[in-house]
Structure 1
Amino acid sequence: MSAAAVPLFLTSGDAAVDRRLDWARALLNEGNAADAAALLAEAGERAPEFLPLWFLLGEARAATGDVAGATEAFRRALALDPEDRLGAGAQLARLAPAQKGGAGLSAGYVRTLFDQYATRFDAALARLDYRGPELIAAALEQACARLGREVVFAHGVDLGCGTGLVGVRLAPQVGRLSGVDLSPNMIALAKERGLYDELAVGDMVAFLVGRPAGDADLVFAGDAFCYLDDLAPVLAESRRVLEPGGLLAFTVETHAGPGVLLRDTLRYAHAQAYVRSVLADEGFELLLCEAASTRTEKGEPVPGLVLAARRGA
């Protein structure tokens, strides 16, 4: 998401600066990043507090290969908006992946992204051949078959529920359904489905922390963990909230290298070895781990994994 996508900061209050921002954006879209950066740096002297200008300057400088200049601009944007609704922290993390100078994907960025995306979300995912609900349902069926039990659950918790697409698929097998998402607009659309017994706006880990131990027998997340770097906190709390023997099912994007990678789409990809390791560390017995793409980008499947695991005793 670029600064152009966020309607929270529409004007600098100076028409000349606003025009320069539009010109710079057009130059950048045309591939002329150097001229865009020069124009924005000049405009920044007139509007030093205008957040989108500094964010776009960071993008322009990054496009020219000026890592130091881009880092300076993104840090300026982050200082102007500590909530980081444009995602400057994630851009910093991409510029210096070995360092911890960036804030990664902030809650403010993810909330802003999906609040704006909410009304177009389901249609957009359909165009991307989104298969998260089908993959998670199939993973649970295979896991239950392996365990010799029915695919029936008393209480399921939907992490990063969005508009409720995975909930729709699993609702017939779940007695009570709870969901959480950072985006109020997404939660409002999930409520319209009438499937959930409980919906909350908030961070998925914080939501789990607030629940009693053994509260559910199913926790699932479709295309939600790609906004988390470290999976240990959410898996640890999922284990605590699950009753002994409860099931966990989720999808992640993946990559061929080690560890965790922040992709240029500002979504995290988790290596299979990393996911297997953190599941074991947090007390889960892995039941299923298969290569599966939840969606396409530019017509190509995004590498991914679908997993199912059981909480250990």
Structure 2
Amino acid sequence: MHPTQFSSGDVIADRRADYARMLADNGEHEAAVELMEQALELAPDWPAGLVRLADYAEKAGVPDKAVAALRKVLERDAEDLFGARLKLALLGAEEVPDAPPSAYVEALFDDYADRFDKALVERLDYTVPGKLAALVAEHHPERFHTTVDLGCGTGLFGAEIRERTARLEGFDLSVNMLTKAEEKQLYDLLAKADLSLDSTASGLFADDLPQARADLVSAADVLMYLGDLGNAFSLASALAAPGALFAFSVEDAGEGDGFQLAPSLRYAHSEAHVRARLTENGFELITLRRTTIRMDGGKPVLGILFLASRRP
């Protein structure tokens, strides 16, 4: 999140919030709740403070206080920069939304961009770009004409596919991530796009960029920041020429036919949900592969790699 959002503007409130954080770090969540409530008496319209209060209250076993704090956040933050609605859904106070707020995802990755590669690859053993590129190569050893990398981030998948495509386009919601990708000089085009929006508003077809221009569309470790995949797959379908490949990954939700919101605030998707959305949007599944996609808290995160083709 933007660092400036974590100051209340009141020195005493900030000091009490700092003490509350130290208590929470020591596992003293009830005391942390009390101090955050005191801080918020001085700065009642501080969204980041309310988010902290909700976090401490949940860990202290008082979910009602957490819910009340998060509802106040939504009253003060119409864009939901802090993902309060997602947190309410995890607490059972709201339905799981079909997609997270774009402002939340954008702020998350704008803040994460400078340390993204190091954190993901070195500390979390992130392997999706290499595995997904290898899966593509198994079924299509020839060069591609145009690859559109959705949610390109800092260009980790782009680095894997660059030598195998004549043109490489990258789109991401985060400007800071796009800046990092530009530094690698991998892409012929980089632009901002939002996969939760329809084709006219998404940014994927701005500046006279045509539909059906790609013979490979990729989405490596992107779709876990969307719930229902219908809109994202519709955009992929509009980008894909007949016979084009669509390569992507999801976190594995296991059995069932839908998607789940995890405590990480990422979505996991069932194979059935993915298959249904592919069919609805004109794709045929070629193959899928279950694998560990990263570590999280020292535990493996299970995912599924998919390769599909656009029906003629």
Q: Does 1:113 align with 2:108?
A: yes
Indicate conservation of the 8 Å contact 1:161/1:181, yes or no: yes
Q: Does 1:134 align with 2:125?
A: no
Q: Give the match for residue 182 of structure 2.
A: 191
Number of aligned residue pairs: 303
The one-character-per-residue Cα deviations of 1:24-54 (angstroms, maximum 9, x if unpaired) are: 1122222222222222223322211112111
Partner amino acid, structure 2, of 1:119: D
CA change 1:104–1:44 in 2 (3 A) is farther
CA–CA separation in structure 2 for the residues paired with 1:134 and 1:114:
21
Q: Give the match for residue 49 of structure 1.
A: 45
CA–CA separation in structure 1 for the residues paired with 2:111 and 2:309:
36
Partner amino acid, structure 1, of 2:13: V
CA–CA separation in structure 2 for the residues paired with 1:119 and 1:105:
22
The one-character-per-residue Cα deviations of 1:88-140 (angstroms, maximum 9, x if unpaired) are: 2221121127625x685222111111112111111111221111111111221
Q: Give the match for residue 147 of structure 1.
A: none
Indicate conservation of the 8 Å contact 1:54/1:77, yes or no: yes
Name the SS for the 2:79 alignment partner. coil
Of 9, 12, 16 in structure 1, the residue corresponding to residue 8 of structure 2 is 12
Of 146, 149, 155 in structure 2, the residue corresponding to residue 155 of structure 1 is 146
Name the SS for the 1:208 alignment partner. coil
Indicate conservation of the 8 Å contact 2:255/2:270, yes or no: yes
CA–CA separation in structure 2 for the residues paired with 1:109 and 1:130:
22
Name the SS for the 1:292 alignment partner. strand
CA change 1:263–1:23 in 2 (3 A) is same
Name the SS for the 2:166 alignment partner. strand
Q: Does 1:35 align with 2:31?
A: yes
Q: Give the match for residue 297 of structure 1.
A: 296
Partner amino acid, structure 2, of 1:227: Y
The one-character-per-residue Cα deviations of 1:137-176 (angstroms, maximum 9, x if unpaired) are: 12212333xxxxx432111100110110100110111111
Partner amino acid, structure 1, of 2:3: P
Q: Give 1:10 deviation, angstroms.
A: 3.8
Name the SS for the 1:8 alignment partner. helix
The one-character-per-residue Cα deviations of 1:229-265 (angstroms, maximum 9, x if unpaired) are: 1111010121122111011000111122422111111
Q: Give 1:14 deviation, angstroms.
A: 2.0
Q: Does 1:177 align with 2:168?
A: yes
Name the SS for the 2:36 alignment partner. helix
Of 193, 198, 215 in structure 2, the residue corresponding to residue 202 of structure 1 is 193
CA–CA separation in structure 1 for the residues paired with 2:268 and 2:233:
16
Cα RMSD, aligned residues only: 1.9
CA–CA separation in structure 1 for the residues paired with 2:297 and 2:44:
36
Moved more, 56-65 or 179-188: 56-65
Deviating beyond 3 angstroms after TM superposition, the runs of 4 or more aligned structure 1 residues are 208-211
Indicate conservation of the 8 Å contact 2:193/2:204, yes or no: no
Q: Does 1:96 align with 2:92?
A: yes
CA change 1:254–1:168 in 2 (3 A) is same
Name the SS for the 2:132 alignment partner. helix
TM-score normalised according to structure 2 size: 0.91
Q: Give 1:9 deviation, angstroms.
A: 2.1
Name the SS for the 1:99 alignment partner. coil
Q: Give 1:220 deviation, angstroms.
A: 0.0
Q: Give the match for residue 265 of structure 1.
A: 264
Partner amino acid, structure 2, of 1:281: E
Indicate conservation of the 8 Å contact 1:140/1:249, yes or no: yes
- In structure 1, runs of 5+ residues without a counterpart are 145-149
TM-score normalised according to structure 1 size: 0.91
Q: Does 1:232 align with 2:230?
A: yes
Q: Give 1:22 deviation, angstroms.
A: 1.0
Q: Give 1:196 deviation, angstroms.
A: 0.7
CA change 1:256–1:201 in 2 (3 A) is same
CA change 1:228–1:103 in 2 (3 A) is closer
Q: Give the match for residue 221 of structure 2.
A: 223
Q: Percent identity?
A: 39
Indicate conservation of the 8 Å contact 1:90/1:103, yes or no: no
Q: Give the match for residue 252 of structure 2.
A: 254
